[in-house]
Structure 1
Amino acid sequence: MQLQAFNSLPANEAETALAHCCGATRWVNLMMGARPFTAAPALFARCNEVWYGDCREEDWLEAFAQHPKIGDINSLKEKYAATRDWAAGEQSGVQEAPTAILEQLAAANRAYEGKFGFLFIVCATGKTAEEMLRLLKDRLENEREEELWVAMGEQCKITHLRLRKLLADEALAPATVSQVTTHVLDTSIGQPGRGVSIRLKARAEGRWLSIAQGVSNDDGRITGLLPPERTLSPGHYKMVFDTGKYFDSQKIQGFYPEVEISFTTFDQGHYHVPLLINPFGYSTYRGS
């Protein structure tokens, strides 16, 4: 539908449409309070304002609980009929996954829920089952507080995707790229560094916590590290690259188990933090 049609929906239908995008009741109610939206960018901006500014842990957990488990195809088909088509598209990477991978996903999901007390949330669009399994295992290493922040960001990405599906007939501008981006180049072979686990960290209450996480793709990049429209407060941040596992996977003995790059943001502009790496040295610069 178009934005005008959404603005004109009866309240109960608009609430249902929003709940299909994000299952947190507070988020739905506050989004309803902002209706009618003058333009799609205002809707997307309000989405983030409510999610990060007004919602609390109980709201985030309520939203997480509305998703099927990653890789649980039966759950997807049977329990989540209301958003089945959207969720199926988002999890298309697991539809044809080998049984062995699905079994590993199921086991990792159980371990994740046992540790954190909520479902593993990832914006699965464009990811293979193997990539999601890698992310799940990486995030199992987090503390609960930082994992909650990472999961919040993934939920926000999903919400933006679903809002765009809701407004499929609207002439929407492309989604904004992540405010913070990165690119890994392995200078020892002159190729992108594929499969590097990367964490974006922020300082909170005297310690550094992961707030976003991903694995570099075939081009050495992470698509959408932060959700669309998400801007960080000016300050100091860190990008941590798991270079040890990267070189281990190639059976190369590297000197650096991880590389940590500290950087400062000054405004809401774009910040590109690349890494040029080889087994015995690395460099970085502010990219564009």
Structure 2
Amino acid sequence: MFKILKKSLNKTKEAIKQIVGAEKKEKIPKDLLEEALIEADIDYDLVEKLLNKLPNEVSRERLKKELDKIFNLPENKIEINDKPYVFLIIGVNGAGKTTTIAKLAYKFKNDGYSVILGAADTFRAAAIEQLSRWAEILDVPIIKTRQGHDPAAITYDTISSAKAKGFDIALIDTAGRLHNKKNLQNELKKIVNISKKAYPNAPQKKLLVIDATQGSSAINQAKIFNEVVGIDGIIVTKLDGTAKGGSLFSIVNELKIPIYFVGVGEKKEDLVKFDKNEFIEGMLEGLYSE
């Protein structure tokens, strides 16, 4: 996992090296470090806050200490100690939400848990079809209906079925809501409320899928979702396809919500648990010599 997560930062590290150079270095001048961190898409205000605490020549150890403080958040640990454990997967269209659900299903199934899917993104027929194909590939059951049907009803039926049949985990897709569409926000609230009614005592997490290629611009999107339903955690997709890996610092700093998983490719197994130490070390490799 360590090498996979670091490898996913290759484009970000290359962008940083364009600024600081590839030669061996023990310390980096503050002005050059500022340029490199901004190039990696760390928010300007956060970069200034970091640099204010640092000397004019910054060592790897000193920067690591400050970056580590940003991830001083609740642990991103999932304990399946009651069932069904309900995951509502939230995010805008194009973020890789449906594929992420498939990756989660594959991961949990490999960990020995029984999984059921709920196709509550009834806004798009393609989303139902895509999740159905994944359910067949992964050999997991799916609760679905036709396009345009009530997504809250699918949510209720999925959780009820998981409870009745003894499934460990229910993964529920939701429509890729545009954060500026009030009616879709209200629909999302309805899904959250109905999931609680389906099984009031069920452990539940609302995980927001964010596209890493959007960089820090995803923060405003995430803020809205958090205000609407209260997000428990973040899943970052497409990290391997962007030079904006530093945006994860900005997102976490702004939202104070832990990152649970990172998508590092297109295959079903390309989902790794986020580890802050591995991520920070990967970033530092682009700046400093080993």
Q: Under a length normalisation based on structure 1, what TM-score does the superposition of the two structures give? A: 0.25
Which has the larger helix fraction?
Answer: 2
Q: Under a length normalisation based on structure 2, what TM-score does the superposition of the two structures give? A: 0.25
Structure possessing the higher relative contact order (Cα contacts under 8 Å, 6 or more residues apart)? 2
